[in-house]
A and B are shown apart, each in its own frame.
Chain A
Amino acid sequence: MSDTLYLAWRYMRYNRGKTAILVASLALLLYIPMGLQLLVDRTAARLRTRADTTPVIIGDKGSSLDLVLRALYFEGEVPAAIPYAQVTRIAATGLADAIPIHARFAVRQQPVVGTTIDYFRFRGLATERGGLFTGLGECVLGAAAAEALDAGPGDKVVTSPENLFDLAGSYPLRMRVTGVLSRSHSPDDDAVFVDIKTAWVIAGLGHGHRDLAEKGAEGQVLERDGNRITANASVVQFNEITPQNLGSFHFHGDRSALPVTAVIALPHDDKSRTLLLGRYLGRDEPCQIEEPSAVMNEVIATVVRVRGYVIAVALLLGCGTLLTICLVFLLSIRLRRRELATMEKIGCSRSLVAALVGSEAAIVFVVALALALLLALLTAWGGESLIRGLIV
């Protein structure tokens, strides 16, 4: 280490409190625009990637942002459901394949996504352990979800009630894990995938219960009228689907009316895409059709605009901070006038005195820059969910 740097280092070490405040101020000054730029760029890139690989989404006529965020990232407000008939409607057009998404429930913090096997093919997802679900009451975990739930093939996970105080709401369903997906570095990693019918069971739209016609069920019968049996309040509803009770599970009403959050449409070509978009432009059309890339570009444009304002404000504040830091250095030199004069008396040149003070400033700047870079990297690493949280 050069003598000048050594003396500067010793001075700063001795005055570590003052130095720490200077470094922290400067690091924040450098970090805010740098971190924001990095965060927004990386987030925008990742949001775009997911959106660009999802051609078209159909959902309820409400917030297009809520629809896209829920269908792509399984986050944010749950949009109003549309009937499953929309899935068959799209398939019937012959213009696109349709994949239903019902993303309303959760297993602790992990979103439960009801869909079909086609979804895994579409996203290029494969299992790392075990296999995909094959029936009712089974689930496949994303890599991060498996870690968070500490579960793997053969384990059981239980859905969380939406509202503890809503007795009419969905009841927890215990599901068997059939497999864990390979990490895809996408929102799929955090999800618990189930068959769309399992999602309806979680919603309470399908259920299984003890056959009241069988022997020993008399205590749960309220009334018998020929073949018609009315159960009393003590009837047991199953909270787990097993090979033994699988046959008792059924859905009431028209299946085409059962809900889905969104439908991902995969047009066969550009022409099909255009035609499909046109089909949903009618005023009486109850659904909206969205191109996720367009929706996300709008969001990103807003974020970028806000970033511009924040950076402008940060620069103004930064100028103030920088001037204050300069003032601190100047006052420090004034306070050290006697010490610096002694050095000159002993034989130190003025240029070396200047180099000494300059070295102190340089050390503060380098350490602050390193700290700011570290913070920026941490932000880029863990900040995407933060900014998505802010959007949501």
Chain B
Amino acid sequence: MIRIEQLDFEYPAGGFRLRVGELAVQSGARAAVIGASGCGKTTLLHLLAGILTPAAGTIRIDGREITGLPDAERRDFRIGTVGLVFQEFELLEYLDVLDNVLLPFRINRSLHLDAPARERARELAESVGLGDKLSQPVPRLSQGERQRVGICRALVAAPSLILADEPTGNLDPDNKERALDILERFAADRGATLVVATHDHALLPRFDQVIDFAELLA
């Protein structure tokens, strides 16, 4: 379960401040975060992931208070608990598909890149239709395929919280549906919580909970 209380965050350079009184998302729920551009959706996701730390308030993920954790522990928490999906995929173009999926294992020592991990990455890639493209360089992939690689990378460490920032923003309607299907299927299979920031109101019926920034910040 995600629980936010009296959150107060401001970027060091100033200019934008995010205040959230109370917010809760049940474990295993599918939540959509909507709001105008620049309202703080990405900031909220980064706070939930422990990338940013608030000036005040608390964030608890499955009962664990993450705002007070030291940097290293917050990183370990993030890599072990949170799967991040980005709007512009953020893949490393010098790695092939499989290496991009396995990237979390290569950049954090709390995860061990062993044979089961490789097997899991392969199965994941196969399950999203990338089984025959494991050794393809990323620049040769289509937009939809790239986002599927990004989703696999977010899911490979079996996170209990998936945070997706505009995951369908750069995709055509078919790929949009497919990407969300994958995220939802994985979340349902693993009992993971899914939080998706989106502009696309047509997608809202797919979610259990809608967090509207217009109401949240009111």
Interface residues of A (CB under 8 A from B): 3-4, 6-7, 10-11, 13-15, 338-339, 342-349, 352
Contacts and interface: CB of A to CB of B under 8 A. Distances in A.
Contacts of A15: 94
A92 B90 CA distance: 93
A352 B72 CA distance: 12
Interface of B: 46, 49, 51, 71-72, 75-76, 78-79, 84, 86, 90, 92-95, 99, 103-108, 113, 137, 153
Contact of A347 (B79, B93, B94, B99): B79
A344 B105 CA distance: 13
Q: What 9 A-B pairs are tightest by C-beta distance, nearest first?
A: A347-B79, A14-B94, A348-B107, A3-B106, A342-B90, A347-B108, A11-B94, A347-B78, A347-B75
Contacts of B84: 345-346
Given A3-B106, A10-B99, A345 B49 contact: yes
Contacts of B72: 349
A352 B94 contact: no
Contacts of B95: 7, 10
B172 to A, nearest CB: 24
Given A14-B93, A349-B72, A349-B75, A6 B106 contact: yes
Contact of B107 (A10, A14, A343): A343
B107 A3 contact: yes
Nearest to A13: B94
Tell me what chain A mostly uses at the interface: helix, strand, loop, or mixed.
helix
B73 to A, nearest CB: 11
Contacts of B103: 343, 346
A349 B105 CA distance: 13
A11 B93 CA distance: 9
A10 B104 contact: no
Contacts of A342: 86, 90, 92
A167 B79 CA distance: 91
Nearest to B89: A342
Contacts of A14: 93-94, 137
Nearest to A12: B94
Contacts, number: 56
A190 B92 CA distance: 59
A3 B79 contact: no
B70 to A, nearest CB: 12
A282 to B, nearest CB: 79
Contact of B104 (A11, A13, A344, A347): A347
Given A345-B49, A346-B153, 5 more contacts: A4-B106, A7-B107, A345-B46, A346-B103, A346-B108
From A6, A342, A348, A349, residue with most partner B Cβ within 10 Å? A342
Contacts of A10: 94-95, 99
Nearest to B95: A10
B52 to A, nearest CB: 10
Nearest to A349: B75
A347 B113 CA distance: 15
Nearest to A353: B107
Nearest to A343: B107
8 contacts: A3-B107, A3-B113, A10-B95, A346-B84, A346-B107, A346-B153, A347-B107, A352-B108
A70 B79 CA distance: 76
B154 to A, nearest CB: 9
A339 B107 CA distance: 13
A338 B107 CA distance: 16
A198 B93 CA distance: 74
A347 B29 CA distance: 24
Contacts of A3: 105-107, 113
A348 B99 contact: no
Contacts of A4: 106
A91 B53 CA distance: 99
B90 A338 contact: yes
A342 B88 CA distance: 11
Contacts of A7: 95, 106-107
A346 B79 contact: yes
Nearest to A338: B90
Contacts of B137: 14
B51 A345 contact: yes
Contacts of A345: 46, 49, 51, 84, 90
A239 to B, nearest CB: 70
